[in-house]
Structure 1
């Protein structure tokens, strides 16, 4: 039986109960990404709004740096940069963008029949089924998801004026995939690094340093995987646009 405890204070009193049968529930990959992303946001909000003594002092940072082979000078420079508001942009931290986009133009106007033939070119070169819509003179082909949570979406737009036929190819990954590839490896690395360091019986500050280094390594691996996926998407988008431009040039 769960009883009320009115004498609880602080975080314990505010923490929502998890005794709702969810302890054995298996979360999907997308739910894991959303939970981690939300947890990171909450942690950032609390750290920014907190006036408590959480965190590390400069002396402790120097000690951790010495444990992982960094000099005190580079720590001081990094601290000065942080205090001055200088830091990497969020997009740089997360790596490549979620989408790849290429826009090409072919001189001359293509009629409706020619645009439909271009749609067939798309279907011949894309390993996915798609739907075709037409509005305001633009024909748009959009890939249909195969039911996977992290399917990428490909969209090709074809529009023609008297002077030019414009071809736009966009390929986009869901944001949850990037979140998983960045948060999960870093989290696992930090937990494993802390566990290994703690079992070795080293000093607490050294444990923090090892855990931080392992977390950075894990996040770097995830970021590398994401960069590889993004580069592959860029090449595919560029190749598709080139094929469509060649086909459209033969139809003008």
Structure 2
């Protein structure tokens, strides 16, 4: 099972709109192996295009062996993030067939790819510099909508984010909405982290008042939803030589 497979417990084309959006968000961050007509030459590569009743589609899989299995043998390919492939195909009015025959099979026409590209252009709505007048518990519908996608996104940010909190915020101008308050983020990485969260939010239904993103090492209300990225994987243990083994000769 790949991360895309795990999100497609309900097939993409049968899923509801929020589930489809989350699948497309994951696709954008997935390395895809796209079939080529021949090996790249002089930094140029030509995708294989398949004529289907719905239009012309490129073929890509999230595992090399899946691509070879579908084609029926070795095939020239190029590896790139889904967001890059989607942008190139949308510009030319082509579609994309992903993982045919697997749980995460997707048939995305140029219109869907164009929507994906526009969502990836989302810019973060940053929290005001001043301290909020009041922070409180997030609305239950916000928790239901955001808890799982935020936890998955934090899994991509191991070592970048120390803590993320979802709260309801009331600002001094009277505006109310939700806020994501992050702690333990190096200032050099704050822009990239905020952009990644803005992309995630762009794929989800909008909450009343919106969701601001801020960075602060501050106390939080007890009712806040607090998420932390999983710990980094343990370093592999060094190989220990059997002291009873004969010496290696050079």
Q: TM-score range by the shorter chain?
A: under 0.3
TM-score (norm 1): 0.23
Higher relative contact order (CA 8 A, sep 6+): 1
TM-score (norm 2): 0.23
More helix by share: 1
Structure showing greater Rg: 1
More strand by share: 2
